[in-house]
Structure 1
Amino acid sequence: MKNTLALSLLLAAALAQTPARAQAPKWPAITQQAKPWTRWWWEGSAVNQQDLTRLMTQYQQAGLGGLEITTIYGVKGAESQFIDFLSPKWVDMLAYTLSEAQRLGLGIDVAQASGWPFGGPWVSPDDACKYVTYRTYEVPGGGQLAEPVRYLQKPMMRAVGPPLDVKTMQQPVARNPDLQLHAFDQVRFEKPLPLQTLMAYSAKGQAVDLTGKVGADGKLSWTAPAGSGWTLYALFQGWHGKQVERAGPGGEGDVIDHLSKTATDNYLRHFDQAFKGRDLKAVRAFFNDSYEVDDAQGEANWTPQLLTEFQRRRGYDLRQHLPALLGKAPDDEQNRRVLSDYRETVSELLLENYTRTWRDWARTHDALIRNQAHGSPANILDLYAVTDIPETEGEDLLRIKFASSAAHVTGKPLTSAETATWENDHFLSSLSDVKKAVDRMLLGGVNHIFYHGTNYSPQAAAWPGWLFYAAVHFNPNNSFWPDFGQLNRYAAHCQSFLQAGQPAHDVLLYLPTYDSFARPNKQPAPADVDRAKLLLQHYDGIDHGFKGLPVAQTGEELLRRGYGFDFISDRQVQQLKGRGAALQTGGTSYRTIVVPAARLVPLATLAQLVQLARGGATVVFQGGLPTDVNGLGNLDARRAAFQKLLGQIKLGAASNGVQKAAVGKGTVLVGADVEPLLAAAGVRRETMVDTGLEFIRRRHAQGHYYFVTNWSGKAVDGWVPLHTAAKAVALYNPLTEKLGMAGLRPGAQGTPEVYLQLAPGESCILETNEAPVSAPAYAYLRPAGAAQPLAGPWSVRFVAGGPTLPAPAETRALTSWTAFSDAARAFSGTAAYTTTFAAPAGAAPDGWLLDLGRVAQSARVQLNGQDLGTLIGPTYQMFIPREQLKASNTLTVLVSNGMANRIIDLDKRGVEYRHFYNVNLAAKLKENRDDKGLFTAARWEPRESGLLGPVTLTPTTARAEKLQ
């Protein structure tokens, strides 16, 4: 376990630089870091030492590498066991957990809030998140303002639990009783808001600061000059009222002002006090589970120092342009430029005053930070870049790549992911479903999986135990648990390669942040909506913030056409170094950078791109050169310098849709379509994607690692081109652990071709080597005859699960065990299917392919008392060498189904297992909600379960593929 930050970073860096093996292929050692980890919910922190040890032992035995402790809401009936977050007893339990984790070889991360975002009862009103609102007033020439300059905040209250009358509540919210019961989400009290500024604007463009002329009673002592009328804009600072979501006991309270360094420092100081005198250095990382300081009332979009910070950073006084900030200036371009500057300022404050401040604090505790930056009103590439372990979630590859891109560009060895969140509705996800979710993350550049998630559940809790509202339930109570270790071993094998070497993408894709910053949010009806609610944009991958901009289409096309790429921000562009034609970052190198039809580009960014081209790089502008600078400050001078730079790019006539300009030693390319542009830049795509395969590639000292998946729905059996130099390719199957030297032959255009056999849902690792490798060949399977059925009869014995073990059964026709009896309909667990059979007639050349047909949902296979392996799907096949078959054979298939059927039985009988505070228990789909809005399976029919077949044996050769 990493006990200090320095050791953490050194170990990670050493891992990333591990040289390739020049000898025969061999599986890398499975380390704690290579294994998948899981989010570990402590509901109500109602934990005890005996159950902590019992559960951690089970997790370790199932192949998990570590746990992230996240304290959340409690369980009804367990109130006497609740432990307040960060209380001395809570820290005692954390210390005990760290000690046991070290004994068991498990890593531990800790979420730095009880729920999310950062906040709690120790957050004062001064440090709580803020918003800005405004009022306008009209004053005629020579007149005075009759009404007071005042804004009374409207009371509002949102709660997951029973609502209260906000007028009778105590302030702040954390002082109120029964916080677990009410589960407040947002609360605003009725009270006057402090004035931030009052500005007067004339029709002639004059601006006058009247803030100092407003008395304590709100009366304005000012007479407008004679002539035309004046419009007054008053900005007021409000208390956003956002509460910590899903908080556990002792963690309920206001969310911090993330834009304030003082608020962040004060928040973290509370942890210093709670940890004082304790040895907690075994905590590897502190974690932030989402930004999410937004709701129906708008984003938290203000901090007391914003006007001062804006002037310092943007070079002009925002108070002179309040109409433009709110989209009311007659010049729409000015509206957009001021809005862009405001958003840029907020982005910088969130980067410096929260993310960087938090990271620096963690280092004082010899710890890292893991951060989910998505959802922030900021350039999240920059937030991820200062994070030790960037973390993402979701299924969209472009969204996933925001976190991994920042890690790749800045040299972070790990990208983590909250994996399989809401993968399906409760109790329906199979291990095959989770494998698909894992593969998606790995393809997006993630190499540190965190399942979402695992509940601490005491041994005394009745089945299904303690649950979380949005999870696959990776718990020992889940009936897939006996086979869960197979998925974990698969993930560990994949990550042992994907944590080694360096990223090997060719393309940097510029993120046009300022085109997004300058784009106003759509204004909902009514038209007089408070425009201050529309100031910020919620950045969460491409769909939130960049949807409709050309970068979205370009990113999708690069994925579809087989180009490896990473996003890059303006700040990161400034760190690029030219190494001849290559672009060097802190983490790796790239062949080119693509600017996808960006209209507004900062002067510094364009200057850096031109400078890189002068040094020998190829810079690609898709859709034309940028047309203008961003923002309003010092606009004329920046525009003039911008145009001068553009004047250095002398484009020639188009060839194949591409215009070319020589700039110094390098080249600038301009065209409409990205693929001919990349071809002109000498970037080649991986054409394996044309067969339905997906991949990600990393570089090692003597070649490349490829992670390749086949989720096309069709088997792949043939030669696949690799667009990299290779004289040898080792092939690894991370699920079956089969390995060997792949069939390799020269292909078109001098590229090698490797022979792959991938069933639907199957994956492999390829390790290319630029030097020959002498080692045993990979044994490809070929049918050598017709499939022969194993007709049974089958004896079925239920061996583990509940609510009761059904009676044994005999069957010749393989059908769902739910047809056996009422007890079997309600059963979730494991059944052993056993049959005896004579060795098939005729000698198989090398062995037999056992195909179980359909399985619901996972299976462990035994032949003649020997374990052959575990199959988690979606294909259920395994090769049996001929020497393992006898004249008479006994085949046992232990099949585990999911939790659904037992849950259906509970819901149909009205047995209550949903007894949780806060969210209790949400359904993903509307059709699975009861009349109280809670999850129910009462309308479901039992899911198919067991060995469904048909089961066959096919004579098979297992030999090397000859070069052709």
Structure 2
Amino acid sequence: MSLIKNNIKIAIVFALLAGAQTASAQVGWPTATEQTKPWARWWWEGSAVNKKDLTWNMESYHNAGLGGLEITPIYGVKGAENQFIQYLSPQWVDMLKYTLTEAKRLNMGIDLANATGWPFGGPWITNEDASKELFWKNYDVKGGEKLNEPVVFMQQPLVRADGQAPKITDLVEPISSNKNLQLMALDQVRFEKRIPLTVLMAYDGKGQALNLTNKVDAAGNLNWTAPAGEWKLYALFQGWHGKMVERAAPGGEGYVIDHFSKPALGHYLARFDEAFKGRDLSGIRAYFNDSYEVDDARGQSNFTPLFFDEFIKRRGYDLRDHLPALFGNDSKENNSRILCDYRETISDLLLDDFTKPWHDWAKTKGALIRNQSHGSPSNILDLYAAIDIPETEGDDVLRFKFATSAAHVMGKPLASSESATWLNDHFLSSLRDVKQAIDKYFVGGVNHIFYHGISYSPQNAQWPGWLFYAAVHFNQTNPFWNDFSTLNQYITNCQSFLQQGKSDNDVLVYYPLFDSFSEPGDRGLLKHYDAMKPDFKGTGFESSTEEMLKKGYTFDFISDKQIMGLQSSGNQILTAGLNYKTILLPDNKYIPLETFNKMVNLAKAGATIVVYKNLPSGVPGYTGLQEREKAFKNLLAGLNFTAGNNGVKVATIGKGRFLIADDISSLLDEAGINREQMTDKGLQFVRRTYKNGNSYFISNNGGNPVNGWIDLSVNAASVVVFDPMTKVYGSAKIRKQTKGKTSVYLQLLPGESCILQTLPVKIKTADYTYYKAAGKSVPVSGTWALNFAEGGPTLPQPIKTSELKSWTELGGEDLKAFSGTGSYAISFKKPAQNALAWKLNLGKVNENAEVYLNGKKLATLIGPQYVVTIPSAQLRTVNQLQIRVANLMANRIIDMDKKHIPYRIFYNTNFQSHSAGSKGPDGLFTAINWEPKPSGLIGPVTLEPVKQLFIK
């Protein structure tokens, strides 16, 4: 494919991604696409795939409502060795090509991990391109003397493995030449060897620095007599960090690359060019990189061969002249500033010599890149800004905001998430749990969900099939699989709105990375940035953003580089088509001169800059410090603060102003920032804007029902409320407030969510129906017939019971061991009371319920609420109610563990426990000590009469 065609394709892809941003207001559900559906990471274990089972798997995923898959080859399954396909072999590429063809037939998207497991690496990575670690020694020499020992460093042997760890003496170089790599699952390997001297510097403590490197012979002997004085020698040696690819697939085992070396990346990607040559793989939407994770090992990858040259180019001085400060042996200030410059240079290299060149490479393939930038020793906002689809993970909204902020600030239409990783221990997570986790991602700004994940498994694999070492297990063998489409449809409904328009946040919060760069760490020279903790714990950055999140202020994070691209229009701050109202300085100590000068200029043009507690006190780094500090203090001198309202001090500058206060609410209120007061009632939200109004995703994450007026910070003539679980929508009841605000009436039970669409004009659509109780609930009681429809290890015999309780308590061992679906049936008479409708409440359910009335399906309920509204006209004099309940995988797994039936059949991690109660003697997962988990319909099942609530 020519470069012109590639560029055209990329332009088309981005046009499709961004097209929704110009969509006009509509009343009704937006059109669902493969992109609005959830996607999943697709583990190819051992790459042991075949065309028949690829088709079966993909058709089942498609039928369950997935819109796309990300292929990630990983470790293999024991017993399937003859099916392993070597990574990037012609046969492997054939299977990839077949998958792309099937995806096109099924209208599914495909992303491809640019590695097996993570991080980037493999058997073709040489010692030259592998990740490096800096080691050092100190020597003392007095004037007139020579060093009496050789300048040498022996790298100590090290083996860490997730499988069967060998002795280092049993391994040979190169690693790829060793047998049983899948069995060993090597995580880090260092061989005992003498490593090369990078530099030898001598310092006299009086400002004199001498480079003695060329005076050291091949044996390490230093041919130098010290001049007068007391000399401290620093010898730096370049060793190997030894990090191996984690969870590597067959043919992917090897060293991780040096992420700070552009040549290393080029050599790595050349292997893909070779494997893909002559193949049409244009169906790949995006290439993916998992989080950095190089340093979840012993030591740090903290050096690259060209580092000192890059440092001079970027920082303007030679770091070799300041090694005592780098290692914390100079004055406190010099230590801080030199260390900051070292870390900034590493950060720059990860951006300029890895992330950007990788992005450029993907463009040549006509593809995007998706990246988890967190965990890197870098400014992760800048890394996220340099890619097409930023991806986050975890369970903390503030953590999500690093990825989603970069998407918003840089105008990227999608922000994705590795979702539902380790919600619970193995086999314990329900669709209810997943739904709650997904809602939190939406609140954090994510609009492109990836499950983590689904393992390719042959159709005839013994139960529970091929599994991944982390939970949740989104596999066809899970009893919740038949109900999985309900969750996927819910996510699709939400994302059809969340992928429209643009983010609508008010505040840009400055990311105070230089404060952290300037503080020593506890793991070595580098820090790795992921979330607020640990590096920003207890800082103003943490406290201000936590308070803003709690109070309902909307905000994004912004980096120094991104600030330099901001524009102003009146009192608005503009970036990538978004309008922000202010920038917040979160009590940070350091700020680059260029950044602060840009903020001053924005204020002069009309913007408001708000300062939480204290202005920065200085600039970071070492070079040109006096000149930069002088210019910075001149800028500060131009800010003359006077007392204002509510403890806020004001400094007018040009057409704008700086505000400073100790209280974040007073500060933002004075800046004219409206908060969304719904957070006071336990609601969480994300707000977006489109051509004719706003949309809100709102989740009731609190423990109490919401039934009343909710104030919105926007002005609207109409508000439509959409229920993404049922797809019911209608015109909401609203009332006007002061200052252009609007209130809307909402009814949300704990765990429920809705979408609001605001419009500037009156619309003609059916009213949304609000209900209120019209009498006491009536129990649905009598004899329940319980039959077991599907599951195992065996189907229990039918049961009749008048008492609803866990089916594990209704019989013998077969019921305790059963994982699958039980069908409850009962007849009941229509209650005598007249009512508009009846709310059928199933009470407690473990875990999902399909509800049928008189043979007609009403709903699939996945929780946390198990309630369905039935119009009175649908009730007959005598009614047949059927409730099909699917439980968890856990009970069958408990039975297998107690009977020592093997299902942990995997190389590498086989597999990890996530809680103390599931650890066996070997430290790995077992359910042998678990008791059977409650299963089925627990109830009580009731019918509550309701009538329409008319709101004045």
Please confirm whether the aligned pair reaches a TM-score higher than 0.5, indicating the same fold: yes
Offset of residue 3 of structure 1: 9.9
CA contact (8 A) 1:432 1:874 kept: yes
Contact 1:3/1:281 (8 A) holds in 2: no
Query: In structure 1, how many angstroms separate the alpha carbons of the residues matched to 2:439 and 2:817?
Result: 32
Deviation at 1:19, TM superposition (A): 1.8
CA contact (8 A) 2:188 2:297 kept: no
Matches within 5 A, 1:680-759: 680-747=670-737, 750-759=740-749
Which residue in 1 is equivalent to 2:580? 590
Paired with 1:2 and 1:473, the residues of 2 have a C-alpha distance of 38
Q: Provide the secondary structure at the position in 1 that maps to 2:643.
A: coil
Choose from 865, 868, 878 the match for 1:878: 868
d(CA) in 1 for partners of 2:122 and 2:129? 11
The alpha carbon displacement at 1:748 in A equals: 5.2
Deviation sequence 1:135-183 (CA, Å, 0-9, x none): 1100001111111111111111111122222134211222211100000
Deviation track 1:586-643 (CA, whole Å, cap 9, x = no partner) reads 2511100101011110000011000000110001111221111110001111111111
Kept in 2, the 8 Å contact 1:702–1:771? The answer is no
Partner of 1:530 in structure 2?
Answer: none
Matching residue within 855, 867, 889 for 2:845: 855
| 8 Å CA contact 2:695, 2:757 repeated in 1 | yes
* Residue in structure 1 matched with residue 245 of structure 2 by the alignment: 244
Q: CA deviation at 1:296?
A: 4.3
> 1:566 offset after TM fit, Å?
0.3
Q: Is the CA contact 2:147–2:222 (under 8 Å) kept in the aligned structure 1?
A: yes
Q: CA deviation at 1:293?
A: 0.8
Pair 2,609 (structure 1): closer, same or farther in 2 beyond 3 Å: closer
**Which residue does the alignment assign to 1:552?**
542
Structure 1: distance between partners of 2:605 and 2:671: 15
SS of corresponding position for 2:391: strand
For 1:297, the aligned partner's letter is R
- The alpha carbon displacement at 1:111 in A equals 0.6
Q: CA deviation at 1:649?
A: 1.1
Secondary structure at the counterpart of residue 646 of structure 2: coil
Q: CA-to-partner distance for each residue in 1:785-808, whole Å, 9 max, x for gaps?
A: 111111021111111111111111
* Distance of 1:591 and 1:481 partners within structure 2: 46
After TM superposition, list the pairs within 5 Å mapping 1:27-106 onto structure 2: 27-106=29-108
Q: Which residue of 2 aligns with 1:471?
A: 471
SS in 2 for 1:554: helix
**Aligned partners of 1:561 and 1:685 also within 8 Å:** yes
Q: What corresponds to 2:25 in structure 1?
A: 20
**Candidates 791, 802, 815, aligned match of 1:824:** 815
Moved more, 646-655 or 935-944: 646-655
Whole-angstrom CA distance in 1 between matches of 2:373 and 2:753: 30
Question: Alpha carbons of 1:874 and 1:417: their partners in 2 closer, same or farther (altered >3 Å)?
Answer: same
Is residue 155–residue 167 contact of structure 1 (8 Å, CA) maintained in 2?
no
Contact 1:19 1:501 in 2 (8 A): no
What is the deviation of 1:674? 1.5
Asked if 1:142 corresponds to 2:144, the answer is yes
Does structure 1 conserve the Cα–Cα contact (< 8 Å) formed by 2:540 and 2:612?
Answer: no
Query: Scaled by the length of structure 1, what TM-score is found?
Result: 0.97
In structure 1, C-alpha distance between the alignment counterparts of 2:164 and 2:889, rounded to whole Å: 30
- Tell me if structure 2 keeps the 8 A contact 1:802–1:828: yes
How far apart are the structure 1 equivalents of 2:870 and 2:809? 31
Residue 379 of structure 1 aligns to which amino acid in structure 2? N
Q: Hey, what's the Cα distance between the residues in 1 that align with 2:840 and 2:298?
A: 59
Alignment of 1:552-571 (within 5 A): 552-571=542-561
1:607 corresponds to 2:597:
yes
Moved more, 813-822 or 3-12: 3-12
User: After superposition, where does 1:130-529 map in structure 2 within 5 Å?
Assistant: 130-226=132-228, 228-329=229-330, 331-522=331-522
**Equivalent-residue separation in structure 1 for 2:159 and 2:484 (angstroms):** 42
Give, as a single letter, the amino acid of the residue that structure 1 aligns with 2:588: A
Identity across matched positions, percent: 54
Q: Could you tell me which amino acid in structure 2 is paired with residue 684 of structure 1?
A: N
Q: Does the residue aligned with 1:919 lie in a helix, a strand or coil?
A: coil
CA contact (8 A) 2:714 2:740 kept: no
8 Å CA contact retained: 2:243, 2:297:
no
Q: Which amino acid aligns with 2:870?
A: I
Aligned equivalents of 1:587 and 1:163: distance in 2? 54
Deviations 1:261-282 (A, max 9, x none): 0001111111000000111000
Aligned to 1:457, the other structure's residue is in SS state: coil
Deviations, residues 822-861 of structure 1 (Å, cap 9, x unaligned): 21111111111111111111221x2111111111101011
Match of 2:528 among 534, 538, 561: 538
Amino acid at match of 1:646: L
Write the letter of the residue equivalent to 1:31.
Answer: T
Report the 3-state secondary structure (helix = DSSP H, G, I; strand = E; otherwise coil) of the residue aligned with 1:312: helix
For structure 1, the residue ranges without an aligned partner over 5 or more in a row are 523-532
Amino acid at match of 2:151: V
Aligned partners of 1:235, 1:483: CA distance in 2, in Å?
A: 59
Partner of 1:912: 902
1:798 to 774, 788, 800: 788
Supply the distance in 2 between the matched residues of 1:437 and 1:495 (Cα, whole angstroms).
15
- After superposition, what is the alpha-carbon deviation per residue over 1:215-264, rounded to whole angstroms, capped at 9, x for unaligned? 111111111112x2100001111111000000010000000000000001
Given that 1:851 and 1:876 are in contact with CA atoms closer than 8 Å, whether structure 2 keeps it comes out as: yes
- Alpha-carbon contact 1:120-1:254 (below 8 Å) kept: yes
CA drift of 1:675 comes to 1.2
> Alpha-carbon deviation of 1:549?
2.1
Unaligned runs of 5+ in 2: 1-5
1:632 aligns with 2:637: no
How far apart are the structure 2 equivalents of 1:909 and 1:191? 48
Task: Report the Cα offset of residue 133 of structure 1.
Answer: 1.1
Q: Could you tell me how far apart the structure 2 residues matched to 1:315 and 1:904 are?
A: 63
1:528 matched residue in structure 2: none
- The residue number in structure 2 matching 1:839 is 830
Cα deviation, residue 385, structure 1? 0.2
Confirm or deny: 8 A CA contact 1:815 1:947 kept in the other structure: yes
Alignment of 1:618-629 (within 5 A): 618-629=608-619
Amino acid at match of 1:461: A
Residue 958 of structure 1: how far off its partner (Å): 3.6
Q: How large is the Cα RMSD of the aligned pairs?
A: 1.3
Distance 1:286 1:296 in 2: 25
Distance 1:475 1:167 in 2: 41
Per the TM alignment, residue 749 of structure 1 is displaced from its structure 2 partner at its CA by: 5.0
Shift in Å at residue 579 of structure 1? Answer: 1.1
CA contact under 8 A between 1:340 and 1:514: conserved in structure 2? yes
Tell me the residue number matched to 2:929. 939
For 1:112, the equivalent position in structure 2 comes to 114
Deviations 1:108-140 (A, max 9, x none): 111111100000001111111001111110000
- The answer (yes or no) to whether the contact 1:784–1:956 under 8 Å persists in 2 is yes
Contact preservation (8 Å) 1:505, 1:566: yes
Kept in 2, the 8 Å contact 1:562–1:687? The answer is yes
| CA deviations over 1:698-754 (Å, ceiling 9, x no partner) | 001111100000021111111111011011100001001111001101235552110
- The normalised TM-score by structure 2 is 0.98
